[in-house]
Amino acid sequence: MSESVIDVQGFNFKKGREHSSCRDQRKITQKDDVIISAGSSQCSLNSEHKSVSSGSSSTLRKSIRSIFKRAVDLPRVNMGPLTYSYSINDLVNKRLRKECDLITLCHILQRGIEMIRITRRKRKFYEFKLINNNGQIIWKDGSKFLELDSIKDIRIGDMASTYQEEVDPKRLRHDSKLWITIIYKISNKLKALHVVALNESDFNTFLSCICGLVTIRRELMESILLPDNSQFARIHWQITVSEKEEDEERDTLSFGDVKKLCDKFHIYVSTGQLLQTFQMADINHNGLLNYFEFEKFIKILKNRKEVNMLWLKVTKHPHSHLSFEEFYRFLINEQQEQVSRETAWSSFTKYKEPTQLIMGQDGFTKFLKEQPYLVDVEEELYSRPLNHYFIASSHNTYLLGKQIAETPSVEGYIQVLQQGCRCVEIDIWDGENGPVVCHGFLTSAIPLKTVIRVIKKYAFITSPYPLIISLEINCNRDNQKLAGLIMKEILAEQLYFSATVTDKLPSPKELKHRIILKSKKTSQLAGSGNFGELFPSSFSSSYESSNEQDNKMKDDYTNNSSSNNSNNTNSSSMQRIKRIGLKKHVDIINDILSISGIHGIKFRNFSLPESKTAAHCFSLNEHKVEYMLRDKNLKLSLDKHNRRYLIRVYPHVLRYKSTNFNPIPFWKMGVQMVATNWQTNDIGQQLNLAMFQILDRQPDGSFKSGYILKPKKLLPVVTKAKMIPLLYKHLANDNDPVTIKIKILSTQLLPRLQDTTARRNDTSSYVKIEFYTDEEPIVPISVDEGTKISATEASTKSCRGNGFNPIWDAQVSITLKDTELTFIKLMVISEEAPIASVCLKLSYLRMGYRHIPLFNMEGEQYIFCTLFIHTQIL
């Protein structure tokens, strides 16, 4: 079990902090850390200057186990979250106070702490309490509550400053050092709770308690992944039964206790199978398990038949151990790893028996579990011009839901930047007090300055490569001037723009930690360049063609706007009304253009001079590009253009529910910026995330650069469009068809269904596999031990009532022309409802036996749920 260090950035603890329960001699400094490892049932306190006594450490260990012992008895309180959050891990790996142990902090918060809750409209005192044995925070006399497992991020100090400006701009009476913002999710929607503590003592107690509980709840859920049955059993025996060694021989655990424990950990196993396993472990047949029987129960439950079969295959009789030579052959032949003997030996020594030069089956299972499933990324690939790359791009980044009647939020920018997005969009409109960001009259607004500050803060948190800001400017000249000043002042030296005209764009490597503005040149300035006749100016992409607005969308907008914010007829609403009458053509002033590194221009055709400048970029909606793809000449011209210049494609205006298109046809044409709605986890966005290797908490640490080098066939520059078919034909002659064989072996620890009735827990589940590619398959999909659905789709047989380790043992095979733009979606389905899935780009997937993480339907990675597969390409 890996350890997590809680070290909250900007804690700014003061030595004067005191509390009634621990005011004696315990003072906290910024250099004190607490390391919590639920996997070993221990918490040890560390300091850079001194160690903590074993007695104090033992007290904290007992405190944490005490927290979970009480939680086991509650019928509706789970032991921890099902999924990882997208950013909470940055928080829990930071400083936590050691002034009081965690149980003391919990006791304080259970009694209640008075704080100020702040919203845009009011500030009110509430008492916040920890209830349900540390599962919930409540306020407003219990009518409002927050599940700890729903927390996605906690922000304090500088990381919370954006919310302070947005929610409490005047900062009356409030100390920013005492401000806490908690981001959490309810019904698949992100919410924010803003509170201000009355003093530093309460701030430290509230924050430290939540950080500690969130950490150990997550790590306790991670502990069920441990392949070591003894360690797993001991953790949960001590939590559920007793820490005393003399109690290990007592028959204590009933079948009901075991079933309750499985329910607490979201383990999805039918009552019949669980009872059968319980009876096998109950050696003396008295209906109760002692520790040693419980350990046997865990061993039987966690037994993996498919790994047993693999173990027999790779080892020699009597199959008691794996030698280094056998291990090395396994890496080369089965895993198809190109590794030296020295590297292989390093891996072998990590998983071998401690005192012997052999590897046991537990070590081999752990090795399989921890191996990377995606290929490594080579940094030298980032030295080509920008137009040679696919760039992870977001559409209307400020929206968290639909395109209409939604409140814009900086959270949209934070989320996508944390995931590795490299092109975000800002729509700038006239506001009451300067430029604002919104979706025209369809939404409320947030100040541009707030958005730019957030972007600067998070721009390079995941990737060091350049961030492109696509500006859609719809405001007057005064606000444009203000917008230019805001961006120059905040982004400062990070802004990239070239003072000289060049014939090619710089590379991502050359532009590390730089921000590029993309703004549209308009008719007023176009005449001064080589752009020929005048053409229409910038306007928000969502309003590009008023003829494309149909009656259905108008009706939906009317219904939504009438039911939202009905009592909020203030100046903000008046600003929205004013924006309705905005003129379509807005001239972009030189203050903006002069600091822009990329210039958008209105598309007319590919042969005019303005379409042959290195820094230009066309922005087209999906329907316009689809129209080009249906015309042979336009299709070739588009392909030719994209080999030298940039283009951006975004969702059509009728996608007002923020759905996404299939991005593969646009990538096939070499479109660099295929902008998607990141807030919607449909197949379009899943393909987008798979292209850029954006999978949360990748165990192999894959590099989320946000830039992917285009396939070789899309890189050569051609002087004539008619040369492209010849180029493709020549490259096709050099490539043989490929046959992909994937064995879907098993799934580990499927989540327990929300409906926990006996019928639901005894349902069948199966895996559906689907190939998404840019070409029709040469040989359609075939499947052993399953069902063919279509030429690219198949499913495994069903497995009834076993969610702990269902065995599928199915193999699919398909033959394709190439795998450059081939993706695989694997989805686990129970009772015709999807419960877990993953989407992968085939060329990124490592060969051989791999454990693939699974995600819920909102795109969050399950903490313990994986799919075990074997991949082979012939």
- Which of 171, 234, 217, 211 shows the shortest CA–CA distance to 91? 211
Q: Which of 388, 395, 652, 851 is catalytic?
A: 395
* Rounded distance between C-alpha atoms, residue 730 and residue 12, angstroms: 64
Domain limit, last residue, from 302, 327, 361? 302
- Residue 676 · residue 393 · CB < 8 Å: yes
What is the CATH classification number for the domain harbouring 135?
A: 2.30.29.30
* Domain span at 745: 735-873
Residues 477 and 502 in one domain: yes
Q: How many domains does the chain have?
A: 5
- Residue 673 · residue 391 · CB < 8 Å: yes
- Residue 441 · residue 580 · CB < 8 Å: yes
In a domain, 142, yes or no: yes
What's the confidence (pLDDT) of residue 695? 60
Residues 361 and 400 in one domain: no
Residue 395 annotated as catalytic = yes
Beta strand segments in 348-454, E: 389-394, 423-431, 434-437, 446-447
Domain limit, last residue, from 255, 279, 302? 302
What is the CATH classification number for the domain harbouring 863?
A: 2.60.40.150
What's the confidence (pLDDT) of residue 632? 95
Residues 494 and 522 in one domain: yes
DSSP element (H, E) containing 624: helix 622-630
Question: What residue has token string 């269902």?
Answer: 806
What is the number of alpha carbons within 13 Å of residue 403 lying toward its C-beta? 23
Residue 439 annotated as catalytic = yes
What's the confidence (pLDDT) of residue 584? 59
Residues 161 and 206 in one domain: yes
Residues 50 and 71 in one domain: yes
What's the confidence (pLDDT) of residue 863? 83
What's the confidence (pLDDT) of residue 753? 62
In a domain, 291, yes or no: yes
What's the confidence (pLDDT) of residue 155? 87
Residues 148 and 130 in one domain: yes
Domain limit, last residue, from 285, 302, 319? 302
What is the CATH classification number for the domain harbouring 250?
A: 1.10.238.10
In a domain, 378, yes or no: no
770 three-class SS: strand
In a domain, 220, yes or no: yes
SS3 content of the chain, % helix, strand, coil (to 5): 35, 25, 40
Q: Which residues contact 734 (CB under 8 A, 6 or more apart)?
A: none
In a domain, 440, yes or no: yes
What's the confidence (pLDDT) of residue 342? 96
DSSP element (H, E) containing 204: helix 200-222
Residues 297 and 309 in one domain: no
Grouped pLDDT means (10 residues each) for the chain, 874 residues: 32 33 33 27 30 39 47 50 63 46 84 91 91 81 88 85 74 74 83 92 90 80 65 72 73 86 76 90 92 88 91 94 96 95 96 94 92 81 93 95 85 91 96 91 86 94 93 95 97 88 89 96 49 31 39 39 41 52 74 94 90 93 96 96 97 94 97 96 96 62 78 94 92 88 93 58 84 95 96 95 87 94 95 91 95 92 91 95
Residues 172 and 217 in one domain: yes
Residues 285 and 309 in one domain: no
Residues 798 and 751 in one domain: yes
Q: Which of 439, 641, 652, 851 is catalytic?
A: 439
